[in-house]
Amino acid sequence: MYLYPVPDYPAGHLLFHAAARVRAGEFNYISLETVLSDAGVISQVPMNWISIMTSGRSHVVDCGDYGHIEFVHTAQRPDDVRGELTYDPDCRLWRASVRQALRDMKATRRSLELVDEEAVREFV
């Protein structure tokens, strides 16, 4: 995959657009720390790192100076999570709700130490 400089390219969406292209044949959605950070449920912001749940295999794609795309395998099918996803046209990917991102965190045995329980109550 190559990047040709485009003057009006939306800042901050490059990794999401690349993820959508790299795994175009798989079921993918933005989740885990990426969603929780965007919602303010965890205090730390992942810098140049996005987490995508995928029906494909788990893998981290190194995008050089642009950052990393972490694909985390899920056995869930679109029908299983359809009520918890919304399409994000800016990122060109489906995005999990906070509730689904927390489920994914638990299912993948990720650390929940940074999760602000009070902030979670607003969403769940």
Among residues 13, 6, 58, the alpha carbon closest in space to that of 32 is found at 58
pLDDT tens sequence across 57-100: 999 999 988 899 999 999 999 999 999 999 999 999 999 999 99
pLDDT at 120: 77
pLDDT tens sequence across 2-36: 676 665 666 678 899 999 999 999 999 999 999 99
Say how far apart CA 45 and CA 31 lie, in whole Å.
14
Query: Over 90: is that where the pLDDT of 114 sits?
Result: no
pLDDT at 8: 63
Beta carbons of 64 and 81 less than 8 angstroms apart: no
> What one-letter code names the amino acid at 32?
L
The model's pTM is: 0.90
Say how far apart CA 56 and CA 75 lie, in whole Å.
9
Q: Compute CA distances 64 → 2, 27, 61, whole Å.
A: 12, 25, 9
Q: Greater confidence, 9 or 56?
A: 56
CA distance from start to end of the chain: 38
